[in-house]
Amino acid sequence: MDQKGYRRGSFQSATSDEDMLEIAGASMDFSMADDDPPLDREMGGFSSYNGGGMNGTSTMMDFLEEPLPGVGTYEDFNTIDWVREKSRDRDRHREITSRSKESTWALLHSVSDAFSGWLLMLLIGLLAGSLAGLIDISAHWMTDLKEGVCLAGFWFNHEHCCWKSNTTFTDRDKCPEWKSWSQLILGHGEGAFAYILNYLMYVIWALMFSLLAVLLVKGFAPYACGSGIPEIKTILSGFIIRGYLGKWTLVIKTITLVLAVSSGLSLGKEGPLVHVACCCGNILCHLFTKYRKNEAKRREVLSAAAAAGVSVAFGAPIGGVLFSLEEVSYYFPLKTLWRSFFAALVAAFTLRSINPFGNSRLVLFYVEFHMPWHLLELVPFILLGIFGGLWGAFFIRSNIAWCRRRKTTRLGKYPVLEVLVVTAITAILAFPNEYTRMSTSELISELFNDCGILDSSKLCEYVNDFNSTKGDDLPDRAAGPGVYTAMWQLALALIMKVFITIFTFGMKVPSGLFIPSMAVGAIAGRLLGVAVEQLAFYHHDWPIFSGWCSQGADCITPGLYAMVGAAACLGGVTRMTVSLVVIMFELTGGLEYIVPLMAAAMTSKWVADAIGREGIYDAHIRLNGYPFLEAKEEFSHKTRAMDVMRPRKNDPPLTVITQDSMSVEDVETIVSSTTYSGYPVVVSRTSQRLVGFVLRRDLIISIENARKKQDGIVSTSVICFTDYCPPLPPSSPSVLKLRSILDLSPFTVTDETPMEIVVDIFRKLGLRHFSFSRKLLGIITKKDVLKHIAQMANQDPDSILFN
Amino acid sequence: MDQKGYRRGSFQSATSDEDMLEIAGASMDFSMADDDPPLDREMGGFSSYNGGGMNGTSTMMDFLEEPLPGVGTYEDFNTIDWVREKSRDRDRHREITSRSKESTWALLHSVSDAFSGWLLMLLIGLLAGSLAGLIDISAHWMTDLKEGVCLAGFWFNHEHCCWKSNTTFTDRDKCPEWKSWSQLILGHGEGAFAYILNYLMYVIWALMFSLLAVLLVKGFAPYACGSGIPEIKTILSGFIIRGYLGKWTLVIKTITLVLAVSSGLSLGKEGPLVHVACCCGNILCHLFTKYRKNEAKRREVLSAAAAAGVSVAFGAPIGGVLFSLEEVSYYFPLKTLWRSFFAALVAAFTLRSINPFGNSRLVLFYVEFHMPWHLLELVPFILLGIFGGLWGAFFIRSNIAWCRRRKTTRLGKYPVLEVLVVTAITAILAFPNEYTRMSTSELISELFNDCGILDSSKLCEYVNDFNSTKGDDLPDRAAGPGVYTAMWQLALALIMKVFITIFTFGMKVPSGLFIPSMAVGAIAGRLLGVAVEQLAFYHHDWPIFSGWCSQGADCITPGLYAMVGAAACLGGVTRMTVSLVVIMFELTGGLEYIVPLMAAAMTSKWVADAIGREGIYDAHIRLNGYPFLEAKEEFSHKTRAMDVMRPRKNDPPLTVITQDSMSVEDVETIVSSTTYSGYPVVVSRTSQRLVGFVLRRDLIISIENARKKQDGIVSTSVICFTDYCPPLPPSSPSVLKLRSILDLSPFTVTDETPMEIVVDIFRKLGLRHFSFSRKLLGIITKKDVLKHIAQMANQDPDSILFN
């Protein structure tokens, strides 16, 4: 049997030629995977699974008591059948429940089975939280390593080093134990030469980190690159990518994430943390039979793991659950909601007890505002929303264009060089500017910060008039020279971030988008905030300010503008809505600030949607040709099933198997001469009445097994899919009974059904294929549907690569 | 035509006799509705709707350009077909989009159509918030009216009255302007006679309020009683109850809710607020064609309105959205999530700007805790969870038993008397005990409260040792005599609340369950909290306390115990999970307290589920026989479609209509001799191949209309459902073409399909009926499925009353 031949067949949706093209396309997409077979295939993949209650959607108490290994599993780069997986789990559950009455042991088994989901969530939360803490601490240390080293112990980061210091010093950040590279090598830190030395060390460290990262990714886990969210979305929708969530991906992604973040590239750790958490979830699934053996159940766990990932990334458990629900999950039953919440909470509290930032907060940029905002400020907030939407749409277009170029030209062949060049440019441009030199999360933290009276940062260098100050409440003040310098530097930082991020996202290192997007928005927001503040200070007699912003009052909080801007830009890029607002709300803790955030997020989404419908993740899914059926978009064309189903008018008739008249040889000929993943079984060639559906993979495995182990099965044996096989003359070879692998409940609709309904059915039930009744007229697969949608949207239908 | 005869027919699932029984059953359930036809039928109902793009699920450009009024609408007490409604909306959307290119006017129309959803949400938020504020203020005033009156103006409540007072006084609550009834009548408030007079006035006011409430409900809006959540769940799942969300229900429910809460009955306003918000949503839908004319779109709006209702009830917008998602909604696309959030937020901010409690909080029982909790405290928290679960299960059983008794015995015939008796008992028992005399939300607020140094309440009468006090942080102290008295009173209050609530919920007045459940839990929690606190104070040397609770430290917060207890009891009764925790989190504002809340909610749900699977709302849905297909419960039996579908083995064959050979008379005979709501259309009697499905209502309306308006249609006219009708001899009467009312895409599966999959399809696609292929074998309706589920769960299948 040609094992390779049926590796990636599709349901009768394409001719053989098309199929070969697809396989070629697929190999190209996963070229690194094919060049270097990932080490994590065995464990991380979905293959270690054999049988279980393999009933499928049919009732199969009959023949095969012990299911064959492999029957009921899936090939790599294929889509699972949710209905089959779910009914298999129900069968399993039924069996355990019915057995539980028999003995105490079985009862215990049933109870432990019921609680295994919760235990799994606990473990995922603990592991994801610990890994996030580890990543935070390491990245913090290594980022500081680019600038200097701690004499009290090289493993201390700058802040930690200065805590340990006993001597008093005026500037909190300048302690004798912390030496910049020039201080260490030259003995002093002043002068042009010291500056150049520090500059050089900064660039060298950055290059070293990013080189190591890209080599590790290329060498050990090609799937560890990128943010991972597009792929996780696709996997959660039912696609199988072996090794994408395996243990090697986990290890390499964790290490390279730290390296990539520390190298100072314009990327964040938040998206990849979702991937890391999903890897944890997938690996921990192997501890429990219930989840190891069922693709649908496993995906429930992955949804919860994604929530835990966002929870630790932003310190926002509720936001994480909503993110998982809104953005990444496909099938999200309510039971999963509750469990995801639990996992997210455990993860957050694990991270908190690790306390990576030493402030018992989960993120660096947690902030508390004190002043209310005024209704008129909605105007600048909405302006920020418009900016966010424009930036989002611009970023998505440019990034996709660049990624397409990388895919199609020779550029894609030199990933290491690309990473090094981008790192070098980033580091060279970043060092001279204080706001790009610091890590992006520190920058965001500083931008969000509401200037207190003791803040020493340049952004807070206002002209103080201590007579009008009461307590900790500072009135609006005139900006000092420090603020004006900061403004210029921030403007330059903004321009740099805007362009460099386009080239960074999509390189062969782990790279998240949240933090760079937020940084762009936060800079723009802070700039606008300071501008409005100064306007209000100098012109508090203008009609728009009178009544709510008198002289000496604190009316404008530039930090809030930064936060609103961050939300707007993040919204423009990802098109998140509720989860975005809730994540931001959890960062501030004040219900009051939801309204500005919501106004900005809403405007941003509308503006961005008006320019291009897709968010960055969907755009990347389409770029990679993953078979993802978008649940949010309505199918709005007026076509009918008959326009989509195969065979078309001039095609050869559907390849079918009859229920009790074909021999083993006939079936083998059909299987080897076609590449379809499954075949309808009909009563007879003349009646064409549909009996069921049989999958290619199951068929091959069953025949192979029967030939080896069952007596009297030869090429002329008749294959029988019915309950009672017709009696044969005594001389003929024994019959091969295969009812157990037949799916007796294939879905059927009439060919007059509008495609919008067909699409809905595919989405909601998670099917792979579909028949047409009134005799067997034809068949539609998920891939046909996706191609049809692409065609209707004037896109290339051949961009859908997998089934 | 017998208009009554087909009023509530069912799909071919029951014989005529059964049907009559059902109608009788229905009339009994809605007996008040049938006795007094609700006034709000015209406006509040779903009937004012005629046509639109009535394409159904089929493609119907053909014959009837102008759809007939009534075709495509539903009868009262019937279930909508989600697929049909949704594709109708898509048709509408397509038409508007395609027209928008033609003229500026059409473009504007298209833009306004797109934004009408947001405008509607804004209006719902504003209206729901305002009504909630109105209810809060009125209920507060009327509750105080039972105890006395303000001389400065009778419209001031006690607190407001004392604010207005200029004189200083020691006790904040005792100001000269506020006179208790004895002070007003006797001139003094001391002595036994004054006490008895106050007692009497309290009982009389309570009786007056509740009498007025029950009379208003009985006389004007029978649907205004109860909490409304079970019915709203059912309506959101696709059922139609005309007038349930109409303007009269809104007006009467708002008024009677204030009366019922003020009467001191053991009920809350939180559940009914959801009903009020849904009424607002439904009424405001009439302003927009898009929502007025489409049942599915309207239900999206209602989901959002429910979120707004919870948002104002608990001041928890995020919790409200999650409540709508988790508890009440059936079909909740992500677009709705974002809009619900918007509506919930607008409602919350409207309520906040009304500021009904004068503390710029949305609820009376908002609280901020300052002390962290210790891991060991999880033990009492879990104990509270167990208590909550037990109370929940006990409450549900007793309440359902009592409500069933009310339904089946003569008790149900005297609703006014019942309300008066329960009010009298409640008032008589409540007055002597300070903690039951105050309104339940005030009680909860006091129980949640963390004792500050200036708190004058009895619960905070600790033995103060001012030497060890630093700032506002109070250490654990010995309980004073006030605390011990309070403990006794609270224990008595607990017993009273536990029993009286069982008889209160389900009476013919608006009554919510949240507040009484929370009160029970809060009392139990506070009792336990004080006990643990005293234990820790007197025995801080015990090993369990050593290490975290040294002498003079503040380690136990009894208020937190009260809150955890409230969450546990609410969880036990309603089986809410995520939304419960999020609502409670929004009440405290501290992420830290999520863990105790979650532990208690989880334990409570597990304990309660172990005793009985159903939450109170599901139990009431089942008690009333609503056709609700639970989305959370898995169907776990191993039956197949052939076991459920009609006709059964010995039944007469399926009543079918042929596509082009039946005359008008034949069809009219079929319609009048059966009560089914729809008929399959087949190619011919012999082939039985399914062509489509036609609804009884559409058929009757179309034939009636054709006979009136179309020339040449007589009893012998042939009805033709095909595209091209066969040519007839010239002498024969003209053909009645009815392809436009034919649903060309009926769903089909094979009869071997396991029922679990059939159930899944009904749930996820929101179908009403279902055919079986391999020729037309039979049919299953939603009602058949529900009956089957009931049968499998050993319940009476005839309890499902509607289709």
Residue B186 is assigned to a structural domain of this protein: yes
Map tokens 């105080």 to a residue. B144
d(CA B162, CA B731): 92
Work out the average pLDDT over A46-64.
Answer: 35
Can you give the pLDDT at residue A797? 66
CA distances in angstroms from B677 to B19, B21, B394, B722, listed in the order given: 11, 16, 41, 21
Contact yes or no for B282/B85 (Cβ under 8 A): no
- Between A215 and A88, whose confidence is greater? A215
ipTM for the complex shown: 0.82
Cα A206 from chain centre:
26
Question: Could you report the per-residue pLDDT of B575-602, keeping only the tens digit for each?
Answer: 988 899 989 888 877 777 888 898 999 9
In chain A, % of residues over pLDDT 90: 32
CATH of the domain at B761: 3.10.580.20
CATH of the domain at B300: 1.10.3080.10
Q: What DSSP state is assigned to residue A653?
A: P
pLDDT band at A282 (very low <50, low <70, confident <90, very high): very high
Q: Which of A87, A589, A750 sits opposite B746 (nearest CB)?
A: A750
Tell whether A336 and A404 lie within a shared domain: no
Question: Could you report the per-residue pLDDT of A92-142, keeping only the tens digit for each?
Answer: 888 888 888 888 888 888 888 888 999 999 999 999 999 999 999 999 999
Question: Could you report the per-residue pLDDT of A360-375, keeping only the tens digit for each?
Answer: 667 777 787 777 788 8
Residue A490: exposed, middle, or buried by beta-carbon count in 10 A (0-12, 13-18, 19+)?
buried
CA distances in angstroms from A148 to A19, A171, B174, B572, B789, listed in the order given: 56, 17, 68, 57, 70
Query: What is the phi/psi pair of residue A780, to 5°?
Result: -130, 135
Contact yes or no for B250/B488 (Cβ under 8 A): no
What is residue B192's three-state secondary structure?
Answer: helix
Contact (CB<8Å) B341/A83: no
Domain span holding position A668:
641-799
pLDDT band at A40 (very low <50, low <70, confident <90, very high): very low
Instruction: Read off the tokens for A541.
Output: 């007699």
pLDDT band at B466 (very low <50, low <70, confident <90, very high): low
Question: Could you report the per-residue pLDDT of A239-275, keeping only the tens digit for each?
Answer: 888 889 999 999 999 999 999 999 999 999 988 999 9
Average pLDDT, chain B: 80
* Optimal mutation site among B338, B362, B580, B609, interface A, most CBs of chain A within 10 A: B338
Contact (CB<8Å) A638/B333: no
Cα A734 from chain centre:
52
Judging contacts by C-beta atoms under 8 Å, the chain A residues touching residue B689 are 774-775
Can you give the pLDDT at residue A28? 34
Can you give the pLDDT at residue B772? 62
Judging contacts by C-beta atoms under 8 Å, the chain B residues touching residue A90 are 634, 636, 756
Instruction: Read off the tokens for A657.
Output: 């198997």
d(CA B329, CA B306): 9
Can you give the pLDDT at residue B65? 44
**Which ranges of A664-796 does DSSP label H, i.e. alpha helix?**
664-673, 696-709, 755-765, 782-792
Residue A498 is assigned to a structural domain of this protein: yes
Contact yes or no for A263/A210 (Cβ under 8 A): yes
CA distances in angstroms from B48 to B39, B75, B89, B670, listed in the order given: 14, 12, 17, 29
Q: CA-based diameter of chain A, in Å?
A: 112
Work out the average pLDDT over A159-168.
Answer: 68
Can you give the pLDDT at residue A287? 92
pLDDT band at A164 (very low <50, low <70, confident <90, very high): low
Instruction: Read off the tokens for A362.
Output: 């989960």
Close Cβ partners of A417 (under 8 Å, ≥ 6 residues apart): none
pLDDT of residue A180 exceeding 90, the answer is no
Contact (CB<8Å) B636/A93: yes
Can you give the pLDDT at residue A248? 92
Can you give the pLDDT at residue B682? 81
Can you give the pLDDT at residue B251? 95
Work out the average pLDDT over B717-728.
Answer: 80
d(CA A84, CA B753): 12
Tell whether A284 and A388 lie within a shared domain: no
Q: Count interface pairs A-B at CB distance under 8 A.
A: 161
Can you give the pLDDT at residue B5? 34
pLDDT of residue B39 exceeding 50, the answer is no
Q: Which of A337, A595, A756 sits opposite B90 (nearest CB)?
A: A756
Chain B interface includes A609 (CB < 8 A): no
Tell whether A587 and A669 lie within a shared domain: no
Work out the average pLDDT over A402-420.
Answer: 91
- Between A466 and A114, whose confidence is greater? A114
Can you give the pLDDT at residue B593? 84
pLDDT band at B521 (very low <50, low <70, confident <90, very high): very high
Residue A677 is assigned to a structural domain of this protein: yes
Partner residues linked to B754 by β-bridges: B640
d(CA A632, CA A618): 11
d(CA A474, CA A452): 7
Judging contacts by C-beta atoms under 8 Å, the chain A residues touching residue B97 are 636
Residue A483: exposed, middle, or buried by beta-carbon count in 10 A (0-12, 13-18, 19+)?
buried
Chain B interface includes A723 (CB < 8 A): no
Can you give the pLDDT at residue B67? 60
- Between A25 and A570, whose confidence is greater? A570
Average pLDDT, chain A: 80
Chain B interface includes A769 (CB < 8 A): no
Work out the average pLDDT over B408-422.
Answer: 91
Can you give the pLDDT at residue B28? 34
Can you give the pLDDT at residue A791? 65
Question: What number of H helices and E strands is found in chain B?
Answer: 30, 11
Work out the average pLDDT over A509-521.
Answer: 93
Can you give the pLDDT at residue B779? 55
pLDDT of residue B51 exceeding 50, the answer is no
Q: Return the CA Rg of chain B.
A: 30
Can you give the pLDDT at residue A86? 83
Residue A515's identity, in one-letter code, is I
Question: Could you report the per-residue pLDDT of A87-103, keeping only the tens digit for each?
Answer: 888 888 888 888 888 88
Instruction: Read off the tokens for B659.
Output: 């596509």
Tell whether A196 and A118 lie within a shared domain: yes
Tell whether A571 and A679 lie within a shared domain: no
The segment with the largest mean pLDDT, out of A216-225, A395-404, B410-419, B458-467, is A395-404
Q: Which stretches of B698-768 are assigned E, i.e. beta strand?
A: 718-720, 736-737, 748-749
Tell whether B454 and B548 lie within a shared domain: yes
Contact (CB<8Å) A591/B760: no
Residue B358: exposed, middle, or buried by beta-carbon count in 10 A (0-12, 13-18, 19+)?
exposed
Of A148-162, B164-178, B619-633, B698-712, which gets the smallest average pLDDT?
Answer: B164-178
Tell whether B606 and B651 lie within a shared domain: no
Tell whether B654 and B771 lie within a shared domain: yes
Close Cβ partners of B367 (under 8 Å, ≥ 6 residues apart): B445, B448, B449, B450, B559, B563, B587, B588
CA distances in angstroms from A343 to A322, A340, A752, B286, B385, listed in the order given: 13, 5, 46, 43, 20
Can you give the pLDDT at residue B92? 86
pLDDT band at A771 (very low <50, low <70, confident <90, very high): low
CA distances in angstroms from A344 to A301, A579, A701, B326, B516, listed in the order given: 12, 14, 41, 18, 31
Domain boundary, last residue among A600, A615, A630: A615
Can you give the pLDDT at residue B360? 65
Quick one: which H or E segment has residue A631? Answer: none
Can you give the pLDDT at residue B493? 95
- Between B503 and A761, whose confidence is greater? B503
Closest listed residue to residue B273, CA positions, set B238, B227, B232: B227
pLDDT band at B771 (very low <50, low <70, confident <90, very high): low
Tell whether A446 and A324 lie within a shared domain: no
Tell whether B342 and B477 lie within a shared domain: no
- Between A800 and A206, whose confidence is greater? A206
Can you give the pLDDT at residue B34? 34
Can you give the pLDDT at residue A110? 87
Residue B82 is assigned to a structural domain of this protein: no
Can you give the pLDDT at residue A281? 95
Domain boundary, last residue among B613, B628, B649: B613
Work out the average pLDDT over A428-434.
Answer: 92
Can you give the pLDDT at residue A799? 62
Q: What domain count does chain A have?
A: 3
Tell whether A391 and A501 lie within a shared domain: yes
Give chain A's end-to-end CA distance (angstroms, integer).
22
Contact (CB<8Å) A752/B760: no
Instruction: Read off the tokens for B442.
Output: 């005030």
Quick one: which H or E segment has residue A141? Answer: helix A104-145
Residue A576 is assigned to a structural domain of this protein: yes
pLDDT band at A616 (very low <50, low <70, confident <90, very high): very high
> Measured between CA atoms, how close is A614 to chain B, in angstroms?
15
Can you give the pLDDT at residue B68? 67
pLDDT band at A403 (very low <50, low <70, confident <90, very high): very high
Residue A492: exposed, middle, or buried by beta-carbon count in 10 A (0-12, 13-18, 19+)?
middle
> Measured between CA atoms, how close is B536 to chain A, in angstroms?
25
In chain B, % of residues over pLDDT 90: 32
Nearest CA in chain B to A688: B774
Residue A85 is assigned to a structural domain of this protein: no
Work out the average pLDDT over B413-435.
Answer: 93
Tell whether A453 and A334 lie within a shared domain: no
Work out the average pLDDT over A547-551.
Answer: 74
What is residue A397's three-state secondary structure?
Answer: helix
The segment with the largest mean pLDDT, out of A385-399, A437-451, A530-544, A692-706, is A385-399
Nearest CA in chain A to B595: A345
CA distances in angstroms from B448 to A643, B132, B518, B563, listed in the order given: 64, 22, 11, 6
Work out the average pLDDT over A449-463.
Answer: 76
Residue B65 is assigned to a structural domain of this protein: no
Work out the average pLDDT over B670-683.
Answer: 82
Residue A318's identity, in one-letter code, is I
* Optimal mutation site among B757, B759, B765, interface A, most CBs of chain A within 10 A: B757
Residue A38 is assigned to a structural domain of this protein: no
Of A791-800, B409-418, B734-743, which gets the smallest average pLDDT?
Answer: A791-800
